[in-house]
Chain A
Amino acid sequence: MTVLLVTHDGGVYLDRTLEALAAQTRTPDRLVVVDIGSRQRVTELPAVGFPVQHLAGPPSSTFGEAITLAVRSLAPASSDDQWLWLLSADNAPEAGALAAMLAAVEISPSVAVAGPKLMQWADPQYLYSYGETLTPLGTSVELAEPLLDQAQYDRESDVTAVSSAGMLVRHRLWEQLGGFDRGLPAMDDALDFCIRARLAGHRVSLVPDARVLSAGRRAPGTAVIGPRTSRAKRERLTRTAQLHRRLVYAPALALPLHWLSLLPLAVLRALGQLLRKQPGSVVGEFAAAFAVAFGHPGRVVASRRRLAQTRKLSWSALAQLRLPWAEIRRRRSLAREETSSARRAGRHEIRFVASGGAAVVLVAGVVGLLVHLPLFGAPAVAAPALLPLNDIGTLWSQVGFGWRALGAGFAGAADPFVWVLALLGSLTFWSPSASIVVLYLLALPLAALAGWFAAARLTASPWLRVVAAVGWTLAPSFLFALDQGRLGAIVAHLLLPWLFFALTTARRSWEASAAAGLLGAAVLASAPSLWPALLALWLIVTISLAAAGRRGRGWHRLVPLPLPAAVLFLPLALQHLVQGTPLGVLADPGILLSQAGTAGEGLAAPPLGQTLAFLAGLPEATAAAWSASAVGSGLSPAAGLALAIVLAAPLLVLALAAPFLRGAPKAVAALVVAALGFATAVLAARLPVASVGADAVGPWPGPGLSLLWLGLLAAVVFGLSAGELALARVLRGALGAVVAVGVVAAAAPLLVSAALGGSHAVPGAERTVPALVAAQAASDPTLGTLVLSGEHGNGLTAGIERGTGAKLDDQSTLFNAAPADVALGDSLAVLAGNLASRGGYNPVPALEAQRIGFVLLTPATRESRAVHDRVTAALDGNPLFAPVTRTAHGTLWRYTGLDAGLPTAAPAGPDNLGTPFGLGVLGVQLLVLILTLLLALPTAGLAESVRPEREARRGSGVRGTRAVAPAGSLAASSRPSTGAHAAVATPGGARHGE
């Protein structure tokens, strides 16, 4: 009876095990210690009362190889009664363990392998492992659950397999079966051995009276698997072992099928890991599949040969021993209960209906409906910055890299905003423009919902949640965006609270982190001017959490946050760089409005007035809409601005006062967000990144102001929610009411004037060209209309719209940021300039090359009358153009050559799937987005219910935070031996060298 002890940096575990061996009631005949340690080697062994042989093995050995080395040093088995007891450094046996096991195998000669009860090292009353078996499909499972040992498993005797720790095996059997499989270095080695033993006709049995300790995950193990092995690596080793066994056990005919299925199954399982929110295991799936498919062929063949040689029984011999499905289901339902209760720790309860959230959303819905009532049933919304959308097929063909039919047409990357439009349009796929109508009707309740949920994460007080929701819904930048039709700013305002809602738990779960990544991509796609602010926020938070050590735990989940947004923006940013307009990537998507046109002041607004307006949340300094409404019709712009500041003052004052109260760090963080938003707005108003007509414009300050508003509201909520005294509660109510009243009063004029029909967002049609052009375009969608528009000074804007006019998803920041000579090309500028003058120019070649059949001159404004009249006179006097009509869209002329038909096709290019680069871009974007979406889907619970994580129930062998019972940790044992653990070790205990 030989004890084979494998130690790999065993440390204090080894000392205890040797003590336990020395204390056995039935002393072993000899002990072979195989030292495969890497950092420290055993130099001296204590006297145990029986011969000890000390072997050194290569540090990279597996357990099986170490045992084989030891066995080789023994004489070959001469009889069937020679036993081997396999122990690892942490398997300290109870005093009567060996005696019990030998007694058990003595009375059952057919038993060739016996296994003890493995108890947890830290708490020896708790089971760690007691027998292993297979599911009907071949997955290895533990037979016993890690509960308090109350002899509930003592009736089990015959099992499929036992653990390799504490395994008692006949020496002769070991030699016959050739030891553990070399292809199973860490997991399932004993399982495979026992299965082969069973198939060779022997029995494997459990011995309930024998107890051996095991340190579980913290066991020193071997070089392959040890206390420092990560969960992902363990999963990979488990999966590799499972696949190896599958290939070894499969019938010869099915072997090729199993081999071919390795990779596809790996892909499916990787997706499953994403659904289970274990993105770290994805690589392991692929690594395991590749390792078994390509790294193990020799081993698989050798194992199969060995199995064939020793197998006497068929596989049905194991059928009775496999875990039945009923038991599997029972275990899964238990696991489901455990995990679902563990996930809800540490947050405020949401309580949507009870806490007033439903009421706020309902009221906001009613107000929104009243304000936008004329839009009900309209096919599209017409506003200064809004256009209808293309049909769904064209919409989806615009994403990615493809042909942009703007100006003379060019191939370029689409704005990421086109993704948002495509998704929005797909909601009402029969008429995508109707989705904008729906968005308008639902804008206020959606904003209230978002604001309320974000506030629900910050505070438990229902009143403050309501105040925050009201403040968010009636944010001036939001109302201005709705009025002017700035769809990007609207979407960004609706999604910002959800982004912060997801960020609050992003550290703890991959689900929230992926959701935050997707929401961040959507917000940045809709409002690229927020890139600097959000990027700065991400950097600050991630770096400070990473540097905070334990308190910043989970910061690694924040690292991939910008990935979806970066993937969407990268092609566009590169093209902007190549074009020489690097800041153009920050330009607003969609239609740009000349700021002079909407507010009466251009980029040169006086800084002080603009700053004060920004503080009140107003994107435009004159606040023309605000002061011209019913209430303020007599107010001068300065007085209107002063009134707006006064109404916003409670919010500002309370936000600045929040750091004085309890919860200061959170309030300071909220104010940092607000400061970033303010800085974004200030810079946006001063940085020209694109041009519209003769004016250079910067991004609209609205999204920056939305961020500012978010920070201020969050600071107010943090400040007011501190304090539990009755006085605090009363103050909370009163001050919250003051803030709410201020916000409502500031927003009321806008809402009232909009409800009375003064809004710029009116029902529109799906075409933006006169009906005659639309009728002609119905049969010829590539027909172009040259659209001319007078500018102040001696200027003219020229553009080509094809089909039924320009659409919102056609727009591109590449075009808007490009200088005019690049964007227009030579021929278009010359054509427009000459058509606006009387001269000897022959426009026919240019008209036919661009397939232009109509010329539309937009209506004149006060500044553009001179140019408008000039163009009208010139075109009226041009025999090639017949004046058609004057409509709300402008004056229309028809090219007389249209009767004969235009010979050439319009300039066109490959769509987003046409070029390899386009395919690549689209493929990468889709891949990243879909993977992030899978990760973000709330399926963690679902996956848990389907396949509860095996190891989740298997603690690290140690329950709770109890330290290893022998004093001193593993790390301490690597220091020079001191008297620290002398108290524990027996005198003459093993001294460890360096």
Chain B
Amino acid sequence: MASDLLRITGRIATGLLTAGTATVLVLGAALLPPPDSANGASGVPVSPTAAQQERVCAGPLVRLGDELGQQATEVGSFGKPRLSGGTIEKKGAKVTGLKDTDVTSDDGGTSSVVTAPAAESPSTLLGVSQAQVAATSDAAGLAAAECTEGAALSWLVAGATDTGRSTMLLLANPTRVPAVVDLRLYTADGPVLAPGLSDIVVPARAQRILSVAGFAPGQAQLAVSVTSRGGIISASLQQSIVRGLEPGGIDLVGRTTEPALEQIIPGVRITTSDAAEARAQVGGSQDVETVLRLLAPDANASVTIGVTGADGAEGTSLKVDAHAGQVLDVPLGPLADGYYSISLSSTAPVVASARASTVAPPAADTTADVVFGETPAATSDGIGFDVVGPSTTDSSAQTGERIDLAWFAAAGPLADPAVFVTARAASPRLSLTNSGDSPAAVKLTGNGDEQTLELAAGESVQVKLGKEKVYLLEPSAPVEASVSYAGAGALASHPVRAASPLAAPITVYR
């Protein structure tokens, strides 16, 4: 009996001991600190060997048909652009022509690729830009653009194909591998479904030119996205306007930033605002007014637009709703002369760019009907908003007015040193916007001197630049920058872009 009791007690003790040990074990496992998950595997960081720098210039302006309008189904180029480029250390670089396969007649100009050895430091970064002033009967104005590297995906938010407006798409392939391009066209009614938009082959070291009117005729609002596989494409868009018999401006537009929830368009330069406003009332000249073109490619977006003038003066603030795939032109109202920075905040990714025009009175040696006997103001060559147009109170047009349009593309934040070159065009100005929350100090080197600009949060500044000079921007915090040119009947702009990220270091694991 006693031994039974002893045995039972022993068993109970064993059982309790086991249960206790098990509990301790489980609790210990549960309370054990989790491993340091930040310790991933070790990899080998590889910095790719830098390739030579390449910038693709779109080449001379093109039109369908020749000077007399003959052969209207064929593309011809006219004039030769002036290329300016180089590095901070050395001006000038090697230019190699590309084959313009679609151009049947030209004046000797071709698209080209400008090369320089790999950049080891910011002072060896290459910048190239081109400018061409057109002065024909159906194309007049300044078309200046930066020559850029290619991108696998380019968004060109510009163009129109209604009566008198022609838009040409220039696809340049500087690589040695043929590129296969897919286009997606968006209009005010939504995306365009048309044959021939995909699998466009651009041969190696060649440029193809397509007329957008062939895909989407009669559209006043357009946006294009260009995707390339194989060789990467440098895409540009050329828009020219003819109103009746008068040329209404020409512009060469590069790519804008990719769809995002926030977009900044720095430095929209308004000149001759009264003249432009007056001209915009005239029938057929609605596209003289300043608009913001918006596209939400994939999803409906509700966009808040803020227009800020120089000196931080609060401009207008608008709220619009954009439908997916439909290009929307938002008139920005009469803006006084000056530089404006437009910021967008959206609920879904959008792409944007702004269009402005300059209206100059007819050239002094042309006799034009002057409705109001005002003396035409003196036109100087490019002091920016010094140009004063005739004060008109009547909304009738003046024949012979020189009108030019310019598309201001959105600029991405520049965190790393970037180089740009001013083209040979009137009155180059640099506009810097600090859209971040903290002050930024930007060092600008070029044209023989060096200056540091302090920007507070939200502030914009403008800097006067020399023509055909190489400048280096070194920001301490991300800023947005663009360069604009304005003269009598001449307006153009291009944003300052950072170098392509395809050569960034990558970590290789086993």
Contact of B510 among A818, A840, A841 (CB under 8 A): A818
Contact of A821 among B32, B44, B502 (CB under 8 A): B44
Q: Return the CB mask of A644-668 against B: 1 if under 8 Å, else 0.
A: 0000000000001101111010011
**A606-B34, A695-B41, A870-B502 known; A876 vs B177 contact (CB < 8 Å):** yes
For residue A820, which residues in chain B have a CB less than 8 angstroms away from its CB?
41-44, 508-510
> Is A879 positioned at the interface, with any CB of B under 8 Å from its CB?
yes
B37–A694 contact, CB under 8 A?
Answer: no
Q: Return the CB mask of A156-167 against B: 1 if under 8 Å, else 0.
A: 000000000000
**A659-B14, A662-B11 known; A877 vs B22 contact (CB < 8 Å):** no
C-alpha gap A29/B202 in the complex (Å): 130
Q: Return the CB mask of A675-695 against B: 1 if under 8 Å, else 0.
A: 100110010001110011111
A837–B14 contact, CB under 8 A?
Answer: no
User: Among B49-57, B96-104, B130-138, which stretch is in contact with chain A?
Assistant: B49-57
CB proximity of A483 to chain B, nearest CB, Å: 25
**A682-B29, A830-B46 known; A602 vs B503 contact (CB < 8 Å):** no
For residue A874, which residues in chain B have a CB less than 8 angstroms away from its CB?
502
Q: Which residue of A lies closest to B232 (CB)?
A: A877
A693–B509 contact, CB under 8 A?
Answer: yes
Q: Which residue of B lies closest to A687 (CB)?
A: B35
B34–A607 contact, CB under 8 A?
Answer: yes
C-alpha gap A818/B232 in the complex (Å): 38
Chain A, range 844-873, C-beta contacts under 8 Å to B: 867, 869-870, 872-873
**A604-B34, A824-B508, A839-B51 known; A664 vs B15 contact (CB < 8 Å):** yes
> Is B26 positioned at the interface, with any CB of A under 8 Å from its CB?
yes
B14–A679 contact, CB under 8 A?
Answer: no
C-alpha gap A870/B118 in the complex (Å): 20
Number of A-B residue pairs, CB cutoff 8 Å, is 189
> Is A833 positioned at the interface, with any CB of B under 8 Å from its CB?
yes
B35–A686 contact, CB under 8 A?
Answer: yes
> Is B195 positioned at the interface, with any CB of A under 8 Å from its CB?
no
B507–A795 contact, CB under 8 A?
Answer: yes
For residue A840, which residues in chain B have a CB less than 8 angstroms away from its CB?
49-52, 118
> Is B33 positioned at the interface, with any CB of A under 8 Å from its CB?
yes
Q: Which residue of B lies closest to A692 (CB)?
A: B41
For residue B34, which residues in chain A have a CB less than 8 angstroms away from its CB?
603-607, 686
B502–A832 contact, CB under 8 A?
Answer: no
For residue A668, which residues in chain B have a CB less than 8 angstroms away from its CB?
14, 18
> Is A608 positioned at the interface, with any CB of B under 8 Å from its CB?
yes
> Is B152 positioned at the interface, with any CB of A under 8 Å from its CB?
yes
A873–B152 contact, CB under 8 A?
Answer: yes
Q: Which residue of A lies closest to B173 (CB)?
A: A877
CB proximity of A983 to chain B, nearest CB, Å: 39
Q: Return the CB mask of B45-77 against A: 1 if under 8 Å, else 0.
A: 011111110000000000000000000000000
Contact of B176 among A664, A821, A841, A879 (CB under 8 A): A879
Looking at A614, A816, A824, which has the most chain B CB atoms within 10 Å of its CB?
A824
C-alpha gap A533/B176 in the complex (Å): 61
C-alpha gap A867/B42 in the complex (Å): 18
CB proximity of A161 to chain B, nearest CB, Å: 59
> Is B175 positioned at the interface, with any CB of A under 8 Å from its CB?
yes
B35–A679 contact, CB under 8 A?
Answer: no
* Residues of A within 8 A of B (CB-CB), count: 74
CB proximity of A478 to chain B, nearest CB, Å: 22
CB proximity of B353 to chain A, nearest CB, Å: 25
B510–A823 contact, CB under 8 A?
Answer: yes
C-alpha gap A450/B335 in the complex (Å): 87
Q: Which residue of B lies closest to A883 (CB)?
A: B230
A796–B29 contact, CB under 8 A?
Answer: no
CB proximity of B117 to chain A, nearest CB, Å: 9
* Residues of B within 8 A of A (CB-CB), count: 52
**A603-B37, A659-B18 known; A879 vs B177 contact (CB < 8 Å):** yes
> Is B82 positioned at the interface, with any CB of A under 8 Å from its CB?
no
Q: Return the CB mask of A812-830 against B: 1 if under 8 Å, else 0.
A: 0001101111011000011
CB proximity of B89 to chain A, nearest CB, Å: 20
Q: Return the CB mask of A395-419 against B: 1 if under 8 Å, else 0.
A: 0000000000001000000000000
B11–A795 contact, CB under 8 A?
Answer: no
> Is B193 positioned at the interface, with any CB of A under 8 Å from its CB?
no
For residue A687, which residues in chain B have a CB less than 8 angstroms away from its CB?
35
Q: Which residue of B lies closest to A655 (CB)?
A: B22
> Is A834 positioned at the interface, with any CB of B under 8 Å from its CB?
yes
C-alpha gap A590/B172 in the complex (Å): 49
B506–A794 contact, CB under 8 A?
Answer: yes
C-alpha gap A974/B51 in the complex (Å): 97
Contact of B509 among A661, A682, A797, A841 (CB under 8 A): A797
> Is B40 positioned at the interface, with any CB of A under 8 Å from its CB?
yes
Contact of A877 among B12, B32, B47, B231 (CB under 8 A): B231
B508–A611 contact, CB under 8 A?
Answer: no
> Is A878 positioned at the interface, with any CB of B under 8 Å from its CB?
yes
> Is A799 positioned at the interface, with any CB of B under 8 Å from its CB?
yes
> Is B229 positioned at the interface, with any CB of A under 8 Å from its CB?
yes
C-alpha gap A833/B12 in the complex (Å): 66
**A657-B15, A659-B11, A797-B510 known; A839 vs B50 contact (CB < 8 Å):** yes
A791–B509 contact, CB under 8 A?
Answer: yes
A876–B230 contact, CB under 8 A?
Answer: yes
B41–A694 contact, CB under 8 A?
Answer: yes
CB proximity of B118 to chain A, nearest CB, Å: 6
**A693-B41, A821-B44 known; A615 vs B506 contact (CB < 8 Å):** no
For residue A231, which residues in chain B have a CB less than 8 angstroms away from its CB?
none
B46–A833 contact, CB under 8 A?
Answer: yes
> Is A696 positioned at the interface, with any CB of B under 8 Å from its CB?
yes
CB proximity of B379 to chain A, nearest CB, Å: 46
CB proximity of B444 to chain A, nearest CB, Å: 29
A694–B504 contact, CB under 8 A?
Answer: no
**A693-B41, A840-B118 known; A815 vs B32 contact (CB < 8 Å):** no
For residue A671, which residues in chain B have a CB less than 8 angstroms away from its CB?
18, 22
Contact of A839 among B10, B14, B48 (CB under 8 A): B48
For residue B26, which residues in chain A have a CB less than 8 angstroms away from its CB?
611, 615, 678
For residue B19, which residues in chain A have a CB less than 8 angstroms away from its CB?
656, 659
A837–B42 contact, CB under 8 A?
Answer: no
C-alpha gap A869/B258 in the complex (Å): 16
CB proximity of A871 to chain B, nearest CB, Å: 9
For residue B37, which residues in chain A have a CB less than 8 angstroms away from its CB?
602-604
C-alpha gap A306/B313 in the complex (Å): 133
> Is A959 positioned at the interface, with any CB of B under 8 Å from its CB?
no
A877–B230 contact, CB under 8 A?
Answer: yes
For residue B177, which residues in chain A have a CB less than 8 angstroms away from its CB?
876-879
> Is A838 positioned at the interface, with any CB of B under 8 Å from its CB?
yes
> Is A836 positioned at the interface, with any CB of B under 8 Å from its CB?
yes
Chain B, range 150-209, C-beta contacts under 8 Å to A: 152, 175-177
> Is A798 positioned at the interface, with any CB of B under 8 Å from its CB?
yes
Q: Return the CB mask of B1-35 against A: 1 if under 8 Å, else 0.
A: 00000000011101101110110011001111111
> Is B366 positioned at the interface, with any CB of A under 8 Å from its CB?
no
CB proximity of B300 to chain A, nearest CB, Å: 24
A833–B30 contact, CB under 8 A?
Answer: no
Contact of B48 among A679, A692, A833 (CB under 8 A): A833
Q: Which residue of A lies closest to B7 (CB)?
A: A662
B22–A656 contact, CB under 8 A?
Answer: yes
Looking at B46, B230, B231, B510, which has the most chain A CB atoms within 10 Å of its CB?
B510
A675–B21 contact, CB under 8 A?
Answer: yes
5 A-B contacts (beta carbon < 8 Å): A797-B508, A797-B510, A838-B502, A873-B502, A877-B231
Apart from the given pairs A614-B29, A691-B42, 19 other A-B contacts in the complex at a CB distance below 8 Å: A603-B34, A603-B37, A604-B35, A607-B34, A664-B15, A667-B18, A678-B25, A682-B32, A693-B510, A694-B43, A794-B504, A824-B44, A830-B46, A832-B46, A837-B504, A838-B51, A839-B49, A840-B50, A877-B231
The 3 A-B pairs at the shortest CB distance, nearest first, are namely: A833-B46, A691-B41, A660-B15
Q: List the interface of chain A (C-beta within 8 A of B).
A: 407, 602-608, 611-612, 614-615, 656-657, 659-662, 664, 667-668, 671, 675, 678-679, 682, 686-688, 691-696, 698, 791, 793-799, 815-816, 818-821, 823-824, 829-830, 832-834, 836-841, 867, 869-870, 872-874, 876-879, 883
